[in-house]
């Protein structure tokens, strides 16, 4: 027999009631009450007030299901002294309209045995807003949602300005998260095979593919992509120029536009030419753009990683991609898909906060996307700064903790069902708890489950020396995921190549430091061996070279002077004196030494770096990029060279270190009947002792 929690007393309305607590009751508990007219109804404990004499629970009525299955509230109040019971699972599920299957977000708050499944159609077809202050867990919650969408094969495109979401490729190995795997009934899992990562900045995002967007073929598109605001005269000139070009060509490129502008008599042309040249330098525009069909595929999440790109470029790429995908979806050239826009307040700001290049197309998707099968998710830590017309179109919402009064007001004015009491609850939500509105028939609080995949939104350093383990990922014992270069030959290939019988083949992983460096607006990738001082290079085969050093024998002060000289075309001794803390005579002696040893060339009273003495590290550009891949039964060799020594060396060469990763190059140790040798797995040419 079920024990009552207490009895109703005091003021009772059709939406609220109180009861005196007589048995253990907690905030957020779902309770059952018998109504004289409609039978059992469901309510939820919103607050518990305790005095020295009594304990009172304040409740909101959720309602009941009528004969047609619609959620309704009773039209008459409950009777005083009615007993209140803890609600059973079936009543909770049926009344709230929770699915028996769907997108598994976590557990219903306060109900550790009721999973919160959300109907994927309600998330996608109604548009979704995920809102929370920074650090409250919005990107974590979106990661959970993406993991679930993958299970349904729904194509997803993510606009990712900070490079947070590519971590979904890797299994979650966070020690704190792993404690809750069994509680949430999940296992660690990476989704590398279902993720396609594209980037606008290949120099920063080494693991991604360079995205290409179409060269503008009309005046409107060109104006939208311009890197600065145009005057009316400049816009008029563009319309005129494009019209002239179209009379001659059906397709044109930036050079055609520049050539046409140069014939113009208008003074407005010079800034326009400068803008066109800036667009050319980006390397983003192409007559062979990344096909929409490659970005939108069933069972695929496409991440547009914009990390490292300026705000203007992020807006340009976002505008171009969403515009193209929307047009392709309208004519059904690509399947229905879900579009996620992170940091939406930057890509579609409210009109009081300016206008982004991508604002117009995101507004169009918000208002029209549903009828074409394009679902939209806007993610933001500043709801007050997101375009209100876009927010109001999102009839499903996931709200985590929000404390800013303006942001709370934006939520309450944009979404139905958010009361002043709800605002207060959103304000006090602990991290990991979310209020889900619209995706269920009644707003529910959910304890968001831990992620299966790695969370990229955590604070972290740029030292990639530690590779996540995959003991919980379901892979075979002995296999790990490492940052390493993709082998071009397999163990079976080795056995076929050898002329004599192969007894054993062992995989060796040789530690390297993969470094992205920059100089004079150029970037290149250098791979240093971490056992002996040498640099790798690859063409059709793997090659090794001693680490070049022209300053190894120079004193620190000499290296300082030489560094300043190499940064300038020409410099005088007086200028060197001003840029250092050395005496003038000391500077003169060092310059004379550098000149005698052919480090510099003298031209009257000025000196410049001798081109033959300056190392061109672009000659060592390593065209392959390391990947996060499985390395079965491999033996890792131990590094002997300190990574920081390499970084210091590069900085002495006036190179900017943009990114570094500990990575591995695979080799095979082959034993035959008559010999033992080591060959690399990226070509057949190299033998290492």
For 157-182, what is each residue's pLDDT tens digit? 999 998 889 889 889 888 888 888 99
Q: At what angle do helices 254-262 and 269-281 cross, to 10 degrees?
A: 160
Tokens matching residue 49: 């007030």
Band (pLDDT 50/70/90 cuts) for residue 415 is low
Q: Which of 518, 517, 534 is closest to 526 using CA atoms?
A: 517
pTM of the complete model: 0.65
SS3 assignment, position 28: coil
Band (pLDDT 50/70/90 cuts) for residue 362 is very high
CB 329 within 8 A of CB 322: no
pLDDT at 546: 85
- Is the pLDDT at 403 greater than 60, yes or no? yes
Q: Which residue has the higher pLDDT, 446 or 604?
A: 446
- Is the pLDDT at 397 greater than 50, yes or no? yes
- The whole-angstrom separation of Cα 422 and Cα 417 is 8
User: What percentage of residues in the chain have a pLDDT greater than 90?
Assistant: 28
Band (pLDDT 50/70/90 cuts) for residue 13 is very high
pLDDT average, residue stretch 38-49? 92
pLDDT at 14: 93
SS3 assignment, position 201: coil
- Is the pLDDT at 217 greater than 60, yes or no? yes
pLDDT at 296: 93
Tokens matching residue 175: 């020690």
Band (pLDDT 50/70/90 cuts) for residue 195 is very high
pLDDT at 587: 85
- The pairing of strands 301-305 and 195-199 is parallel
Q: Between vectors from CA 186 to CA 445 and to CA 336, what angle results, nearest 5°?
A: 70
Band (pLDDT 50/70/90 cuts) for residue 480 is low
Q: Which of 172, 122, 141, 155 is closest to 342 using CA atoms?
A: 141
CB 386 within 8 A of CB 394: no
pLDDT at 417: 59
What does residue 181 show for φ and ψ, rounded to 5 degrees?
A: -60, -50
pLDDT at 368: 93
Burial class (CB in 10 A: 0-12, 13-18, 19+), 585: exposed
pLDDT at 631: 61
- The whole-angstrom separation of Cα 513 and Cα 528 is 5
pLDDT at 224: 80
User: What percentage of residues in the chain have a pLDDT greater than 70?
Assistant: 90
Tokens matching residue 199: 């980037």
CB 450 within 8 A of CB 189: no
Place of tokens 């500077």: 587
Residues 6+ apart with CB under 8 A from 50: 56
CB 421 within 8 A of CB 137: no
SS3 assignment, position 675: coil
- Is the pLDDT at 602 greater than 50, yes or no? yes
- The whole-angstrom separation of Cα 155 and Cα 376 is 12
Instruction: For the chain, give the longest Cα–Cα distance.
Output: 105
Sign of CA dihedral 333, 339, 345, 350: positive
Tokens matching residue 232: 């009316």
Q: Which segment, 264-268, 380-384, 460-464, 625-629, is predicted with the most confidence on average?
A: 380-384
CA 461 vs CA 303, 306, 457, 661: distances in Å: 22, 19, 12, 11
- The whole-angstrom separation of Cα 142 and Cα 146 is 6
Over residues 548-600, the pLDDT tens digits come to: 766 656 787 887 887 788 777 788 877 888 788 888 888 888 888 888 877 88
Tokens matching residue 192: 């590398």
Size of the chain in residues: 689
DSSP assignment string, 101-121: SSEEEEEETT-TT-EEEE-HH
Over residues 221-254, the pLDDT tens digits come to: 888 878 777 888 888 888 988 888 888 888 888 8
pLDDT average, residue stretch 498-508? 77
pLDDT at 532: 92
What does residue 272 show for φ and ψ, rounded to 5 degrees?
A: -65, -40
- Is the pLDDT at 418 greater than 70, yes or no? no
Place of tokens 């005095």: 51
Burial class (CB in 10 A: 0-12, 13-18, 19+), 13: exposed
pLDDT at 498: 65
Distance of CA 279 to the CA centre of its chain: 24
Q: Computed over its alpha carbons, how large is the radius of gyration of the chain? A: 32
Band (pLDDT 50/70/90 cuts) for residue 467 is very low
Q: Which of 103, 83, 10 is closest to 43 using CA atoms?
A: 83
């Amino acid at each position: 027999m079920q024990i009552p929690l207490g009895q109703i007393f005091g003021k009772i309305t059709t939406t609220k009631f109180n009861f005196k607590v007589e048995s253990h009751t907690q905030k957020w508990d779902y309770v059952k009450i018998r109504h004289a007219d409609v039978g059992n109804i469901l309510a939820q404990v919103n607050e518990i007030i305790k005095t020295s004499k009594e304990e009172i629970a304040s409740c909101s009525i959720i309602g009941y299901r009528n004969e047609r299955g619609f959620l309704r509230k009773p039209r008459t109040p409950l009777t005083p002294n009615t007993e209140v019971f803890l609600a059973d699972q079936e009543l909770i599920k049926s009344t709230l309209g929770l699915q028996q299957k769907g997108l598994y977000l976590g557990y219903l708050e306060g109900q550790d045995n009721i999973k919160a499944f959300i109907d994927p159609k309600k998330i996608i077809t109604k548009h979704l807003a995920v809102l929370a202050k920074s650090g409250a867990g919005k990107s974590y919650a979106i990661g959970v949602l993406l993991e679930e969408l993958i299970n349904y094969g729904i194509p997803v495109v993510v606009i990712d300005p900070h490079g947070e979401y590519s971590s979904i490729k890797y299994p979650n190995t966070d020690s704190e998260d792993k404690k809750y795997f069994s509680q949430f009934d999940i296992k660690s899992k990476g989704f590398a095979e279902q993720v396609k990562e594209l980037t606008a900045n290949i120099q920063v995002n080494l693991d991604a593919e360079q995205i290409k967007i179409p060269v503008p073929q009309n005046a409107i598109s060109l104006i939208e992509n311009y890197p600065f605001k145009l005057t009316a005269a400049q816009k008029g000139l563009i319309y005129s120029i494009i019209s002239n070009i179209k009379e001659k060509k059906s397709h044109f490129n930036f050079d055609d536009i520049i050539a046409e502008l140069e014939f113009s008599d208008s003074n407005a042309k010079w800034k326009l030419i400068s803008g066109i040249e800036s667009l050319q330098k980006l390397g983003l525009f192409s007559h062979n753009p990344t096909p929409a069909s490659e970005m939108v595929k069933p069972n695929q999440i496409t991440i547009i990683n914009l990390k490292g790109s300026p705000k203007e470029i992020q807006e340009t790429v976002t505008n171009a991609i969403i515009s193209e995908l929307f047009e392709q979806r309208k004519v059904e050239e690509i399947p229905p898909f879900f579009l996620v826009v992170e940091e939406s307040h930057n890509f579609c700001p409210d009109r009081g906060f300016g206008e982004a290049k991508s604002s117009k197309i995101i507004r169009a998707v918000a208002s029209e996307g549903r009828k074409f099968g394009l679902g939209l998710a806007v993610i933001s830590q500043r709801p007050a700064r997101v375009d209100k017309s876009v927010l109001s179109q999102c009839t499903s919402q996931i709200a985590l903790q929000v404390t800013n009064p303006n942001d709370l007001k934006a939520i309450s004015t944009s979404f139905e069902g958010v009361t002043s009491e709800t605002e207060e609850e959103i304000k006090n939500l602990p991290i990991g708890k979310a209020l889900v509105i619209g995706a269920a028939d009644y707003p529910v609080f959910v304890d968001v489950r831990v992620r299966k995949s790695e969370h990229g939104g955590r604070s972290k350093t740029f030292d990639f020396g530690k590779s996540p383990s995959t003991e919980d990922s379901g892979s075979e014992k002995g296999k790990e995921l490492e940052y390493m270069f993709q082998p071009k030959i397999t163990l079976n290939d080795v056995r076929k190549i050898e002329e004599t019988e192969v007894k054993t083949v062992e995989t060796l992983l040789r530690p390297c430091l993969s470094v992205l460096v920059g100089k004079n607006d150029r970037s290149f990738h250098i791979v240093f061996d971490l056992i002996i001082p040498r640099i790798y290079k690859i063409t059709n085969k793997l090659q090794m070279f001693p680490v070049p050093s022209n300053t190894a024998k120079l004193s620190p002060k000499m290296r300082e002077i030489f560094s300043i000289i190499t940064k300038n075309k020409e410099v005088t001794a007086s200028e060197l004196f001003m840029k250092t803390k050395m005496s003038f005579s000391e500077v003169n002696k060092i310059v004379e030494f550098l000149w005698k040893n052919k480090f510099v060339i003298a031209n009257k009273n000025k000196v410049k770096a001798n081109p033959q003495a300056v190392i061109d590290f672009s000659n060592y550009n390593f065209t392959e990029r390391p990947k996060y891949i499985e390395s079965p039964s491999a033996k890792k060799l131990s590094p002997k060279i300190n990574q920081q020594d390499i970084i210091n060396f590069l900085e002495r060469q006036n190179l900017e270190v943009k990114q570094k990763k500990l990575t591995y190059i695979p080799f095979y140790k082959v034993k035959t009947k008559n010999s033992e040798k080591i060959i690399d797995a990226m070509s057949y040419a190299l033998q290492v002792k």
